[in-house]
Amino acid sequence: MFLVIPMISFLGYDHMDPNEVFPEHHCDFSEKYRNRVDFAIFKAGEPVIAIESKSAGASGLRDDRGQLRSYFNAAKTVKMGILTDGLIWEFYADSDEPNMMDANPFLRFDLRDVAKGKVDDSALEGLHSLRKAVFDPDNIGAEAKRKHIYNSVLAQVATIFADPPEEFARPLLKKAGIGHLSQKALDEYRPVIQAAFREFINRQILHRLDLPKPDQPAPAPAAPAEAPAPAADAIVTTERELEVFRWTQKRLAFLVRDDALFAEIAAVDYKDYQGKFVVFYKMERKGRLFEFIESRTSNGLRFIFPEESGLAQADITVQSLAEIDGPLLKTFCARVAAIAKSPPSGAPAGPAAEASAARSA
């Protein structure tokens, strides 16, 4: 209970309201066959999510799907089932046949991995899409289907990477200008394809970290102090700065505890300057959350927070983005409380807001 209730609250549901979260709810085919789940989450007076929980650390969690599946089949309005031991969470839908729970979960994660930062973006995005404010019971089956296909394709990519099959290797080599290969020659080229895969992935990682490729020289040293300052239009937002901004939005969605604050995350924006990267809420100065100073010579991440952050020292250097959770959340809450819901007329918009407006248009 102490592990499941916080997750229910994180998803935006009030576990103190029996009209929304119903413990020990039952839905039966008949008096003889009684189906009960530990928690049923209601929407418009009907159960839409069923949660079956087991003892923390219980082995063979997947062996306990029968009870959840029986309730899922009996309750026609239920569109998602959750099986958990409080640490491992599995999310099921009826992507193949209505009211027939899928054999495999479309989303799965372990809170022990989350605590270590070992959770991918797709799992976090999937979890956020299940929150009360955005959860759509009628569409969850289609979303689950897409997730199953995604996982299947990902598994196939891993298989191809480990051992490129002939039906993949021949067309690839043909596009590279090597055709009419014998089976022996094809087998000799397989290690080349694998090496190319590894190099491609390595280059993507280096690009993400904004580091030079191994076969390229290191960046030239900075210009002397007397060199003229670059023009304003020479400012280039780096991949690392964009990563900090995207991470800030996702992390705030993970940290906030109510729907009102969650909705305000969309107003978080950024502006790039020479030497610093500013992330703010609605108003660039009054709503400033922090300044990020990118360094090409240090592994640390330098942030400058305003006094609302509660830090004794506003200028801090951390090794991991997760280390700024406390000041980030406190500053965001303070800015939302201090600024009106709509920015004043003529307030400048940052790049992310301009891009969003362009997409809307």
pLDDT in tens, 175-207: 888 877 788 888 888 888 888 888 887 777 766
Give the mean pLDDT of 315-344.
82
pLDDT exceeds cutoff 50 at 226: no
Q: What is the pLDDT of residue 269?
A: 93
Q: What is the pLDDT of residue 189?
A: 84
Of 22 and 67, which is predicted with more confidence?
Answer: 22
Give the mean pLDDT of 62-81.
81
Of 19 and 308, which is predicted with more confidence?
Answer: 19
Of 79 and 198, which is predicted with more confidence?
Answer: 79
pLDDT exceeds cutoff 90 at 20: yes
Q: What is the pLDDT of residue 217?
A: 52
Q: What is the pLDDT of residue 21?
A: 93
Confidence (pTM): 0.47
Q: How far apart are CA 57 and CA 309, in angstroms?
A: 37
Of 88 and 232, which is predicted with more confidence?
Answer: 88
Of 79-88, 97-106, 212-221, 228-237, the range with the highest mean pLDDT is 79-88
Give the mean pLDDT of 123-131.
81
On average, the pLDDT of the chain sits at: 79
Of 92 and 35, which is predicted with more confidence?
Answer: 92
Burial class of residue 276, CB neighbours in 10 A (0-12, 13-18, 19+): middle
Give the mean pLDDT of 37-65.
82
Task: Please report, rounded to a whole number, the percentage of residues in the chain having pLDDT higher than 70.
Answer: 80
Q: What is the pLDDT of residue 122?
A: 73
> Lowest-confidence range among 10-19, 107-116, 133-142, 238-247?
133-142
pLDDT exceeds cutoff 90 at 245: yes
Give the mean pLDDT of 237-262.
89
